Structure 1
Amino acid sequence: MVELLKKLFEQRQRDITVILLDDSKPDEDNSYRINPNGLIGLILGISGVFAVIVALLFMLTPIGSLLYSNDDAEIRAQILEVTNRTMALEDSLRQRDLQLQEMKNIIRFSVDTTLTPDERFMSMGDENAPFTSPDILASERMENLEQFSQNEIIFSNIFKATPDFPARYPVKGTLTRRYLPGQDHFGMDIATKDREPVINVADGSVINSSWTINNGYIISVQHSDGLVSTYKHLATVSKREGDLALRGDILGETGNTGVLSTGPHLHFEIWKNGVPQNPEKYLIK
């Protein structure tokens, strides 16, 4: 066979006569005239058609899926992993959008939070109530006033007399927004420089010293006569709950803290027996 192919290749430029002999029929002479180039072209053509048929079989019939099942499984696994990651990313983005929307709603629609004084402090400033000595007061109300230091209560008489008002402004600055209860603004805003000292307006005791997302650092001081003063948007605080706060003490420093703040300022409130008051009536420049 190899010799035949070799001869055909050597004689490819000339026509060749092929004689077929049948031993059972010696009288018959079957001869054919062929061109080697044409024969080679015919063989290549048949091979190409066969290759196309095989390729179509792999592409259009289950035969191909059987041969490439492993590769397909790996690809499907990769696609599934990418899909899961995409879904997780979409969930994260959705949660982020919800959080941003909540922050926008707070900034656009929320107002400064209000303070409802604790009922346990109401009677402290009642002038008609009989005064109880500090020792008896400490023993009777120790359960409700655990945050206060016993020594501080014993050595203070801050709740005996009416607070000394009017007082000076708690911070140096410019009044930028007044008391507007109709707009749920229960205090006054004083624009200041950053880190200005905030001064306590009257003797009392700190009942709240904390951080809130809306108002930053907050300090509330309980005075006698049922009065409570509140200072918001502080950058730092220098008093803790239970500390005595005398008039003129530094409670902290102004800042631009909390999502409701648009610049360094102090939001100042005064409440009496749970009712908001106009702070300007208690202050003098």
Structure 2
Amino acid sequence: MKFINKLKKVKNYFVLIIPDQSSSETRSRKLSLSKIIGILLGYTLLISFLGYVFFSVTPIGNLFFPKTKTFSEQEIAKINELNSRMLFLSKELENLKSTNEKLRNAIILGDSSVIESLNVKDTGSLKKKAGGNILSVIKYLFFPEEGSEEKIDYFIKPVNGFISRGFNTDKGHIGIDFVVKVGSPVYAAANGYVVFADYTSRDGYMMIINHTNDYITVYKHCSILLKKIRDRVFQGELISLSGNSGEITTGPHLHFEIWKQGQPINPKNVFSNK
């Protein structure tokens, strides 16, 4: 009650404004204290409004009051999805780097000089007459010095299946496709050394074998690789199981290629079991 009574007494106070210099026409202004408070309050609100507009519209406001971005649930979900994609692409890039490095090693191992150095370290010679599966292994184990200069005259089919797509360089198909069930045995087409055996995103589980006389055979879309890099294989030896791996496969099959001196050739022309 005392505070209210004091406010009522304030209404009885007035402010008299008199000019500093006396003049013939001296004017005075008589303002009540409540009116002065109202004027000051109005100016304060006006300045506050103008300041708010100035700092919110112009870029200067960001210098003094930086805005914090708030994201909706959809935006957060999209950001998380982008982060997942970036992590996936980063892993894919690392896999590609690893695959490229292994392919470089395969090319190096495919060089004839390197193959010769491998032969020197081995107890026998790779260059044996292709006798097929067990017979060639027995010859190698018991007669390691026989036939120091092997020339590959023919290759055997790597799988028991029918050819669904033939060799056609005009359409970019530089090998042949054998339709087989997943898990069917895949055999080495000739004696040689494994120079690549790993997974690639495009061709799935793939193996490359280097042979004498500048031949290379390629086996793609396998499900399991049973040999590793630098392993020695014999013609007719089990090297992998067929599958449906990789991005460019259209179904369970084995894609098989033969290269001669860096150029793809039609495997049907050199198959012994046509």
Q: 1:153 corresponds to which letter in structure 2? A: S
Q: Deviations over 1:41-93 (max 9, x none)?
A: xx99998787555322311248x97xxxxx987851524x98xx99xx69x68
| Match status 1:193 vs 2:181 | yes
CA contact (8 A) 1:179 1:188 kept: yes
Q: Distance in 2 between matches of 1:150 and 1:265?
A: 35
- Which structure would you say has the larger Rg? 1
Aligned residue number for residue 213 of structure 1? 201
CA contact (8 A) 2:110 2:195 kept: no
Q: Distance in 2 between matches of 1:214 and 1:250?
A: 24
Aligned residue number for residue 150 of structure 1? 122
CA contact (8 A) 1:147 1:241 kept: no
Q: Deviations over 1:82-139 (max 9, x none)?
A: 8xx99xx69x68x95xx6xx99xxxxxxxxx9x9897743xxxxxxxxxxxxxxxxxx
Q: Distance in 2 between matches of 1:171 and 1:3?
A: 105
| Match status 1:54 vs 2:44 | yes
CA contact (8 A) 1:158 1:224 kept: no
Q: CA deviation at 1:2?
A: 5.0
Identity of aligned residues (%): 25
Cα distance change on mapping 1:277 and 1:231 into 2, 3 Å: same
Aligned residue number for residue 160 of structure 1? 149
Q: TM-score, normalised by structure 2?
A: 0.55
Q: CA deviation at 1:171?
A: 1.8
CA contact (8 A) 2:107 2:195 kept: no
Aligned residues: 204
Q: TM-score, normalised by structure 1?
A: 0.53
Q: Distance in 2 between matches of 1:202 and 1:211?
A: 22
Q: 2:45 corresponds to which letter in structure 1? A: A
Q: 1:209 corresponds to which letter in structure 2? A: A
Q: CA deviation at 1:249?
A: 0.8
Q: Distance in 2 between matches of 1:226 and 1:250?
A: 22
